Chain A
Amino acid sequence: MTGLRYVYAVCRPFRSALQAQLTGVAGVPPKQLTHHGLVAVVSTVPEADFAEAPLRAHLEDLDWLSTTARAHQQVIDALTAVTTPLPLRLATVFRDDSGVRSMMEAREDDFRRVLDRLEGRVEWGVKVYAEPESAQSPQSAKPTEPTETDRPAKTDRPDAKAMSGRDYLRRRRMQTRAREDVWQRAAEFAGRLHETLSSFAEDSRLHAPQNAALSGASGQNVLNAAYLVPRADSEEFVELVDREKDDAPGIRVELTGPWAAYSFTGEFAEDPEVGP
């Protein structure tokens, strides 16, 4: 069958079968292409969608991009269940199998080096959110007109008549401070958590905080980190996160994973721009 070759990942040969129902991008099941003892996991994709011009157009389309990203990730997930894949960036496309083989041959040493380093490891994502609203007193956070009833019942100030304005200011300050406190605590908590998790994990990466508008998560993302953890220690890592996230009002901890070690392929050299 003609068509282009979409490459999801490179890994070492693995024994277990991929799940039978697995489909990749363009709805086709991925297949393995073995070369020099390494496996490229590829799908045949239609030129009508994945040649340069249509691909470029598709990437502008958030729906297409989302569907394709999920399909890509689904294959990587399936691979992560049975081996340690080196995930390639979305939309890595070659003309044919021989193009994929040439690439594998050209990058063989890099692949082996990074695969050796990542062997048996997975990535866990940990995000910390500050949620000031949930930690604030039920009192309205909006400014209110100071009135007689707003005055404190008891005051130790001599000039009681000036208290309403001051009280207003004091209350606003307290509300601001409550919010500040949550940020402060969330930042400190995130720092401590990251320290604890980094010392457990083999490696860690800090990513830019996620924009709530796209992630749809509530609160503000103050920590977005990835941790490289041996499979064998993963349960312990998950328990550690569970333990650490206790007793944190106004602070939410979110754990995702296990992911393929996406964030730890960094020492893979930039492509030397070898011709196809």
Chain B
Amino acid sequence: MTTPGRLPEPYGRDGGANLADILERVLDKGVVIAGDIRINLLDIELLTIKLRLIVASVDKAKEMGIDWWEDDPALSSRARRDELARENAELRERLAQLEPARGQEEAP
């Protein structure tokens, strides 16, 4: 017999529970038991890409060729560096355009 201890009121899940949080757990975590009806959730081809992103663990997602975070500056320092490099190039170009327009003065 088990008796529950005292638990705080639920956080962040009243009514409009974050579907992503729920899907992440019920689809990707928890115990995998092969039932009589055998369906591998990761084999469901037409689950949307977004859904896969959210339910797939990093390794699984990589296996499936999903690596959006590697190009997302928010999640990858490499992508962030790329973004900075691109922005830097844009700015240099812009500076080059601006400086001659400044008149007789030589650009520094």
Q: How far is the CA of A7 from the CA of B84 in the complex (A)?
A: 51
Structural contact, B37 and A55, CB atoms closer than 8 A: yes
Structural contact, B95 and A256, CB atoms closer than 8 A: no
A171 → B minimal CB distance (Å): 11
A interface bracket (residues with beta carbon within 8 Å of B): 35 or more
Contact of B30 (CB < 8 Å), options: A59, A89, A94, A232: A89
Q: How far is the CA of A76 from the CA of B13 in the complex (A)?
A: 13
Q: How far is the CA of A95 from the CA of B38 in the complex (A)?
A: 11
Structural contact, A162 and B21, CB atoms closer than 8 A: no
Q: Is A197 an interface residue (CB 8 A)?
A: no
A-contacting residues, B23-47, CB 8 Å: 23-27, 29-39, 41, 44-47
Contact A271:B34 (CB < 8 A) given known A161-B105, A256-B11:
yes
Structural contact, A120 and B2, CB atoms closer than 8 A: yes
Q: Is A27 an interface residue (CB 8 A)?
A: no
Bitwise, B44-71 to A at CB < 8 A (1) or not (0) is 1111101101101110010000001100
Structural contact, B25 and A165, CB atoms closer than 8 A: no
A184 → B minimal CB distance (Å): 10
Bitwise, A148-173 to B at CB < 8 A (1) or not (0) is 00000000000101101110110010
Q: How far is the CA of A270 from the CA of B32 in the complex (A)?
A: 7
Structural contact, A55 and B4, CB atoms closer than 8 A: no
Q: Work out how many contacts link A and B, with CB atoms closer than 8 A.
A: 231
Number of B positions contacting A (CB below 8 A): 67
Structural contact, A231 and B39, CB atoms closer than 8 A: no
A257 → B minimal CB distance (Å): 6
Contact A271:B26 (CB < 8 A) given known A122-B7, A215-B54, A258-B7:
no
Residues of A within 8 A of B39 (CB): 52, 55-56, 59, 91
Residues of A within 8 A of B25 (CB): 73, 87, 259, 262-263
Q: Is B98 an interface residue (CB 8 A)?
A: yes
Structural contact, A50 and B37, CB atoms closer than 8 A: yes
Q: Which single residue of chain A is at the shortest CB-CB distance from B3?
A: A15
Q: Which single residue of chain A is at the shortest CB-CB distance from B57?
A: A208
B-contacting residues, A37-63, CB 8 Å: 50-52, 55-56, 59-60, 62
Q: Which single residue of chain B is at the shortest CB-CB distance from A72?
A: B26
Structural contact, A258 and B50, CB atoms closer than 8 A: no
Q: How far is the CA of A169 from the CA of B69 in the complex (A)?
A: 28
Q: Nearest 4 pairs between A and B by C-beta?
A: A220-B74, A231-B5, A215-B20, A262-B29
